Amino acid sequence: MRVAVTGASGFIGSVLMPALRARGHEARAVMRDAMASAACFTGMDVVVHLANLAHGRATASLLHQVNVEGTRKLADLAAATGVRRMIYLSSVKAVGEESGDRPLDGSEVPAPRDDYGRSKLAAEHALQEVAAATGLDIVTLRPPLVYGPGVKANFLALMRAIDRGWPLPLAAVPSRRSLVYVGNLCDAIASCLGHASAAGRAYFVTDGPAVSLPSLCRAIGDALERPARLFPLPPALIPVARFRHSLEVDDAALRRELGWRPPFSLEEGLRATAEWYLGR
């Protein structure tokens, strides 16, 4: 298939492009300054939209302008140039920040907690409107934390802390987290390119069962060949609130409807990430 990819040079896009080509697809990188050009999408079968503005310090207005209106315009342009399907990389944050008593599975009412999550949910709604008006197939993927070579932010900070032997007050934290290795996410994207069952669907995607935060720290330590130095502290005293709450997602719908299975285990993903980290 002929696939145009926005955000092709980013953390996920740089893995997706060679993965698509290895499967025999024609993959075209769409540069940010050319995203408003019809020439970028002419002759393409699918657009994979990865480019967006991350949370960080962006204002709500800027997040809406880029993530919502920018996504809507891109989808309108893709439909006008004959693209049949758009795969949109949303986020678990479009649904919520914690899972409570059971994993999020798509049946819950979305309740994003921050401006970034609200912008991703609004973009999903904008794409539904474009689909209704134009017939463009929309497939939405909502990954949890994505890790792998090139990862940044909190996951990189956690790796650095474990590598340096810093004591972490996480031994008694009961929270559980779903994750997805970038190689698994890109494989799921590839599986959505032409699968008829994916049309109009929104899927979570994960490596598999969620892991507790202490178990994740120990697994990172194993990958780095460094012991994770954890000590107990009552969860109520942990200053970072997100560490105290679970965020589990259930990707059974993706596995059932598309027959998808992640090609890499958590251990394999962490090992590849550790090799990148140690070789930087």
Q: For residue range 47-69, what is the model confidence (pLDDT) as tens digits?
A: 999 999 886 678 999 999 999 99
- Does residue 240 have a pLDDT over 70? no
Q: Is the pLDDT of residue 177 over 80?
A: yes
Other Cβ atoms closer than 10 A to 4: 26
Whether pLDDT at 241 is above 70? no
The band of 174, judged by pLDDT with boundaries at 50, 70 and 90, is confident
Q: By three-state DSSP, how is residue 245 classified?
A: coil
Measured over the CA atoms of residue 125, residue 93, residue 203 and residue 86, the dihedral's sign is positive
Indicate the pLDDT class of residue 32, thresholds 50, 70 and 90. confident
Contact between residue 204 and residue 248 where contact means Cβ atoms under 8 Å apart: no
Predicted confidence at residue 40, as pLDDT, reads 86
Give the integer Cα–Cα distance in Å for 135 and 130: 8
Which amino acid makes up residue 138? I
DSSP structure class, residue 235: G
Given this model, what pLDDT does residue 242 score?
65
28 Cβ contact partners less than 8 Å away, ≥ 6 residues apart: 2, 3, 4, 5, 40, 44
In the chain, domain spans: 2-146+180-207+248-264
Alpha-carbon distance of 205 to 20, in angstroms, equals 18
Query: To the nearest 10°, the Cα dihedral for 182, 185, 186, 188?
Result: 160
- Name the one residue in this structure whose structure tokens are 């802390």: 161
**Cα separation, 202 vs 87, whole angstroms:** 10
CA distances from 16 to 29, 65, 150 (A): 10, 26, 13
Chain centroid to Cα 108, Å, comes to 19
Q: Phi/psi at 246 (nearest 5 deg)?
A: -80, 150
Residue 75: its pLDDT value, please?
Answer: 96
pLDDT above 70 for 233: yes
Q: Which residues contact 109 (CB under 8 A, 6 or more apart)?
A: none
Q: What is the CATH number of domain 2-146+180-207+248-264?
A: 3.40.50.720
Residue 116 neighbours by CB under 8 Å, 6+ apart = 54, 55, 58, 63, 67, 91, 93
Q: Rounded to the nearest 10 degrees, how much is the dihedral formed by the CA atoms of 223, 229, 231, 233?
A: -70
Task: Return the number of other C-beta atoms located less than 10 Å from residue 125's C-beta.
Answer: 12
The answer to whether 98 touches 144, Cβ cutoff 8 Å, is no
**SS3 of residue 187 by DSSP:** helix
Q: What would the pLDDT profile of 96-136 be if each residue is shown by its tens digit?
A: 999 988 999 999 999 999 999 999 999 999 999 999 999 99
| Predicted local distance difference test score (pLDDT) of residue 77 | 95
